Chain A
Amino acid sequence: MNGIRLPIELTAASVVTIAAILILPHVLELFALINATVYVSMAVLALSLALVWGFGGILCFGQATFFGLGGYAYAVAAINFGDTVYAVPVAIAVPALVAAALGYVMFYGRISDVYIGAITLTLTLILFNFVNSTSGDQWRIGAAPLGGFNGIPSTPPLNMPGDPGNPLPPEWIFAVAMLSLLICYIIAKLILRARFGRVIVAIRENERRAELLGYDVRAYKLGIFVIGGAMAGLSGLLFANCVFVSPTMFSLFYSGQIIVWVMVGGLSTLVGPVIGAILLNLLTTWAGTLPEINPSLILGAILALAVLVMPRGILPSLATVLGRFRGARGMT
């Protein structure tokens, strides 16, 4: 059954991606297109936490750490290298390495759930404070000044491979972002289909039993954590390409936001958090245009309500209700 569903899902995702790449740049104005690219980068970020938390059961409250590190690593490497294409592997490797080091300490140290939440949250806040404190000329890596609370406004966009003088136009950046999202989705799907992914889910279900069956739980958790870190890094890179990097990438608001997307989209689904990220970004952008409403208030209220009323996630609950409605009609 699953053997047939997988190709269908992947084909559908590919069709949506290609359609978006072909259509949206012609429909949207430049500003809206850049905004759409930001949303897509957020969707990649949501996907990364869906893997780590939704499927891996790892209570990572600081996924923004890897998002910010990816963005900063990209900006610093791009400024130093000149050819920004070479900055891409750096933007993925740096957060992945940090995730590996942090994950090693946490999982091999057998630190439990709530403590993992505390440690990851604290780490991202410390990075927030750290990056904020890096204004002044002594804080530079090679040619790149870190810029303190101003961030790095001169973050260069991606260029044509091999042609540093030729930056990609926004339509191309959008296409790159969409393709990145598609690739991450396919990777996530394949991981979950593979043995590795099924063991990950088993560990979420019952860590002790997985261990008693002979699985090295620590290694599996570390693995999914690093993959999630790398994806979040990629999302930071995409974000840096539409806006620029600044300390807010590490802020409590961002960390909280990612949690809300996954919570709304539903734990243990992949498409849910992606849709959740895009919908909630549309919502907060719209709310941002109303002077009397603060996006933080909306996000917070949605999170609290989601936990209280629909702990399975808002989108899955809606889907169930719709499904029941359709099912009822089908029977008549």
Chain B
Amino acid sequence: MTALLATEHLTMRFGGVVAVDDVSLAVADGELRCLIGPNGAGKSTLFKCLTGQIKPSAGRILWRGQDITGLNSFEIARLGVGIKTQVPSLFDGLTVLESVRLALRRQARERVARVQALATLERLGIVELAQHLVVLLAHGQRQLVELAMVVAPEPDLIILDEPTAGMSAEETTRAARVIRALNAAHTIIVVEHDMQFIRAIAKTVTVLHQGRVLIEDDVASVLADRRVQDVYLGKTDVSWQVVA
């Protein structure tokens, strides 16, 4: 079966630095995939390549077998990809409802869009915030508003960049639950470095190290792998500290 999203020999160089080095991975429909690795492993560069913010130096990105390398962010979004950034990226001057309505780009009929937007807010438990200005919301609420914007158009794939950054342990557990629930309807790729979080949600984990794929396996095998422990416990990368 063709993968939903795949990369083939994806490489990104900045001057002399190779941030992503010959990465080939395939994410199947319905999968919940974690991309992990210590700081500097190339996670965020890979995220930027996948979301069209930068154009890879070499290699291809495939969407259902179609080459989509070098497309702009908005074109990738239009394929049916929802993208959540690390720091919530929101429309501060608009209301929550207006924001989610904008996310329903393809719905031209105002009344239908409104119903759909409210349904999404209901699903995420923030329907009472619908008329609030985004700028006035608390940090956790902002995260949920962004999530509402991402899931509202029912994307086939959701890519989340470090969704637990800055969260407490309790919030992290709750976020893991939300993401597992989302996985019932959407394929999900999570870029993350928090090991506890990975344990809580992951099925298949791809570990990146120094721009390359170190290992790709189910979460238990990955956690048991000596190379991963080396990388995470600092034998190869002293600067890395385990958050979990």
The CA-CA distance from A216 to B72 in the complex, in Å, is 9
Contact pick for A198, options B102, B108, B153, CB 8 Å: B102
Whether A212 contacts B90 in the complex (CB less than 8 A), given A195-B108, A198-B102, A202-B102, comes out as no
B91 lies within 8 A of A211 (CB): no
* Chain A residues whose CB sits within 8 angstroms of the CB of B105 once the complex forms: 213-215
* Chain B residues whose CB sits within 8 angstroms of the CB of A208 once the complex forms: 73, 85, 89
Known: A212-B51, A212-B83, A213-B74. 16 other contacts (CB 8 A): A195-B108, A198-B102, A199-B102, A201-B93, A202-B94, A204-B93, A206-B90, A206-B92, A208-B73, A209-B90, A210-B102, A211-B73, A211-B77, A212-B85, A214-B74, A215-B105
- CB of A217 within 8 Å of the partner chain: yes
- CB of A113 within 8 Å of the partner chain: no
B92 lies within 8 A of A205 (CB): yes
* Chain A residues whose CB sits within 8 angstroms of the CB of B153 once the complex forms: 213-214
What total of chain B residues lie within 8 Å of the partner, measured CB to CB? 22
- Per-position 1/0 for B96-107, Cβ under 8 A of A: 001100110100
What total of chain A residues lie within 8 Å of the partner, measured CB to CB? 18
- CB of B177 within 8 Å of the partner chain: no
The CA-CA distance from A95 to B149 in the complex, in Å, is 38
- CB of B235 within 8 Å of the partner chain: no
- CB of B227 within 8 Å of the partner chain: no
The CA-CA distance from A205 to B133 in the complex, in Å, is 12
The CA-CA distance from A211 to B102 in the complex, in Å, is 11
* Chain A residues whose CB sits within 8 angstroms of the CB of B85 once the complex forms: 208, 212
Closest-CB distance, B82 to chain A (whole angstroms): 8
12 pairs across A/B with beta carbons < 8 Å?
A: A195-B108, A199-B102, A202-B99, A205-B92, A206-B91, A209-B90, A210-B91, A211-B73, A211-B77, A213-B74, A214-B77, A214-B153
- CB of B78 within 8 Å of the partner chain: yes
Closest to B91 in A: A205
* Chain B residues whose CB sits within 8 angstroms of the CB of A202 once the complex forms: 91, 94, 99, 102
Closest-CB distance, B21 to chain A (whole angstroms): 26
Closest-CB distance, A4 to chain B (whole angstroms): 15
* Chain A residues whose CB sits within 8 angstroms of the CB of B83 once the complex forms: 212
Closest-CB distance, B107 to chain A (whole angstroms): 10
A201 lies within 8 A of B77 (CB): no
A209 lies within 8 A of B91 (CB): yes
